[in-house]
Amino acid sequence: MARFTGRSAIVTGAAQGIGAVYAKALAAEGAKVVVADLNAERGEQVAKEIVADGGTAVFHSVDVADPESAAALAAFTIAEFGVINHLVNNAAIYGGMKLDLLVTVPWDYYKKFMGVNLDGALNMTRAVWENMNANGGGSIVNQSSTAAWLYSSFYGLAKVGINGLTQQLAHELGGCKIRVNAIAPGPIDTEATQTVTPGDMVKDIVSRIPIKRMGTPDDLVGACLYLLSDEAAWVTGQILNVDGGQIIRS
């Protein structure tokens, strides 16, 4: 398939893990991809791998918590590819995340965490929406998590915020033909998850999932590409769980 031929896509947090898989999948379907991340070494490597596989990709550094950095990324994409058609807000502090309670987490760390994991999606959307609007619309996918429905301290709180942000932005931008949806993965077997979640806790989580295994980044690709594509032309403001049945919502 080539659902994204001639279109550009920004994927934040694309230097590794889920973001890298999203970037490669978009490129494989014809998108011109901006691999955006703070990790230049890994990000450039992902872009090189995409190009080596016959795709189109460039790397650009971004700190999504900084509105000026987000705006610079949007300007770079426009200069490079002429237009911004799609955005995946995947960047987050996760691997190596501090484990603490809401009532005790150091305030400076909490603000930094929320600046990336919640405000970052808004900063990036604010940076791209005018170009999308001027060019007939576009689509945005935010990365949520099943943590939004489970106790997960400030990580879960950030994902609750992402869900609300997704719905509010869908309402605000619908008239601009910009669709905004979110994917809420269950536990995904990535390097970052392995650094955060103890093995015995993973086993317990998996035992309670109807499809009894950890997810993989590849399990999320279909949902991401669908929500970005014209196949989802009348889908906006939705949070799509891809979680092996971990969360059943009525």
pLDDT at 189: 87
Q: Tens digits of per-residue pLDDT, 16-42? A: 999 999 999 999 999 999 999 999 999
Q: What are phi and psi of 100, to 5 degrees?
A: -160, 170
Q: Is there a catalytic annotation at residue 155?
A: yes
Contact 173, 180 (CB under 8 A): yes
Distance (Å, whole) CA 15 – CA 42: 5
Residue tagged active-site, from 22, 94, 110, 155: 155
Q: Which DSSP state fits 156?
A: H
Q: Is 3.30.1180.20 the CATH number for 8-186+217-241?
A: no
Distance (Å, whole) CA 53 – CA 41: 19
pLDDT at 197: 64
Q: Tens digits of per-residue pLDDT, 159-215? A: 999 999 999 999 999 999 999 999 999 999 877 666 666 667 778 888 999 999 999
Contact 113, 93 (CB under 8 A): yes
- The arithmetic mean of pLDDT across residues 98-108, rounded, is 94
How many other C-beta atoms are found inside a 10 Å radius of the C-beta of residue 250? 2
Residue 56 pLDDT > 70, yes or no? Answer: yes
Contact 179, 140 (CB under 8 A): yes
Residue type for 176, please?
A: C
Q: Tens digits of per-residue pLDDT, 106-154? A: 999 999 999 999 999 999 999 999 999 999 999 999 999 999 999 999 9
